[in-house]
Amino acid sequence: MPPEPTSLFLSAERASALAAWRSPEEDVVSLHLDVDAAGAYPSALCRLLREAKTAQPRLRALARDVERLEAFVRGEFSPAGRRGLCAVSCVKRGLFEAFSLPEPLKPSLTISDRPAVRPLESLGARYRRFLVLLADERRARFVEMHLGEATEVETHDGGELTSDPAALARRAAALAAARGADRLVLGASAERLAAFTAALPADLRGELISEPLLGPDRPLEAVAERGRHNERESLKLREAVLVRRFMEELKNGGAVAGLEAVAAALQQGCVKRVFVREGWAKMGRRCPACRRLSLDHRSCPWCFRVTEHVFDVVAELVDRAVEAGVEVDPVALHPDFDGVGRIGAELSTPAARRKETPTGRALRALFALKSGRTSPLRPRSQPE
């Protein structure tokens, strides 16, 4: 993979190359950073590095990677409207990649034999990839947009692509397929749009978004801003469809709602998608032995250990979902979603097969002595 330290754009090709990249040793350092509008992220990086150096002694051997990451964040990265940053370094094998994200990322510095890109995959499921074509009688220009970033793809001045709508449609279809674009955006006059649409393959015609105000001479940042607007509209629509389906599934047993039900379903690995009210945080408890989360169980209902305090149990739950490769959808609108508990999960297996939190009576029955008193023994292994 050629190093392109200045490009923060995540193409489909780069995303899959990065996800498949493996080192024979544990020498890949991944940095995730929450980029705040107030510009406090460099001091957050300082804190993160300090903590990581104490907690992970192996980092000492990877000082060159830490320096590279630090130099990038302080010297090359520009926060402009970005909310998250993911950078990966393996100096020894010539790998350095950085991507920006339109949503905040939980800050972390990890060492592994592979880049830590799970949060990217989780976001990638929600954010579409747009191929933007800006065309007039002189010029045809292609721009790609994904995760709020835009990049120039190619520009044609004159020639067949500006004179023949069918040739332009063929080129657009080929580029959309090669770059994995989900939607096509066309910035052109009404006549040009009509001729182009008629020449487009049927499957792409349904995915076309018209942007008559965008032309081939607009600066990349203006195209990107319009793209971000389209993205927000597309996410709003998606949220409406998904939340409506979730509410229906909740009635039919295909979904669960509430923190403890979602935690239990995640633990059992039967969650397809998690919905959570944007910005919601809540204190809770975690079992140090089996890691199960609850709102207020002082002793673990599954393995009887004394649980510990968790500052934000919602964030902890979301992290686990992301780590498990489950898509997480923040819910910004839909007040009726709060009525069912502000968090919910669509299940991959039917609700009937899930195990509920054991009740006190059920536990007494499991561990009762002949006399009827509760057994003083802890179960040897946690019941699954």
The residues that touch Zn ion, with contacts defined as CB under 5 A, are 287, 289-290, 300, 302-303
Helix, strand, coil tally for the chain in percent (to 5): 40, 25, 35
Between 210 and 357, whose beta carbon lies closer to Zn ion?
357
- CB of 286 vs Zn ion, minimal distance in Å: 9
- CB of 21 vs Zn ion, minimal distance in Å: 36
d(CA 245, CA 239): 10
Q: Which residue pairs, CB below 8 angstroms and at least 24 apart, start in 360-367? A: 363/301
Beta strands 308-310 and 343-347, pairing class = unpaired
Cα 366 to the chain's mean position, in Å?
Answer: 41
Q: Which residues contact 139 (CB under 8 A, 6 or more apart)?
A: 155, 156, 157, 158, 162, 216, 217
Between 162 and 294, whose beta carbon lies closer to Zn ion?
294
Between 10 and 293, whose beta carbon lies closer to Zn ion?
293
Between 167 and 303, whose beta carbon lies closer to Zn ion?
303
Between 255 and 287, whose beta carbon lies closer to Zn ion?
287
- CB of 239 vs Zn ion, minimal distance in Å: 34
- CB of 263 vs Zn ion, minimal distance in Å: 12
Q: Which helix (H) or strand (E) holds 155?
A: strand 149-157
In the sheet that 108-112 helps form, which strands lie side by side, from edge to edge? 95-101, 84-90, 28-34, 108-112
- CB of 290 vs Zn ion, minimal distance in Å: 3
d(CA 111, CA 27): 6
Between 254 and 358, whose beta carbon lies closer to Zn ion?
358
Between 58 and 291, whose beta carbon lies closer to Zn ion?
291
Put residue 336 in one of left, alpha, beta given phi > 0 → left and psi -120 to 50 → alpha.
Answer: alpha
φ, ψ dihedrals at 218, nearest 5°: -70, 140
Find the angle CA(327)-CA(330)-CA(336) to the nearest 5 degrees: 120
Between 110 and 357, whose beta carbon lies closer to Zn ion?
357
Are 90 and 141 in contact by the 8 Å Cβ rule? The answer is: no
- CB of 276 vs Zn ion, minimal distance in Å: 23
- CB of 361 vs Zn ion, minimal distance in Å: 19
Q: Which residues contact 7 (CB under 8 A, 6 or more apart)?
A: 151
Are 158 and 137 in contact by the 8 Å Cβ rule? The answer is: no
Between 349 and 382, whose beta carbon lies closer to Zn ion?
382
- CB of 65 vs Zn ion, minimal distance in Å: 37
Between 287 and 321, whose beta carbon lies closer to Zn ion?
287
- CB of 291 vs Zn ion, minimal distance in Å: 7
- CB of 288 vs Zn ion, minimal distance in Å: 8
Beta carbons within 10 angstroms of residue 186's beta carbon: 22
Tokens linked to 158: 């004159």
What's the CA dihedral at 290, 296, 297, 302 to 10 degrees?
Answer: -40
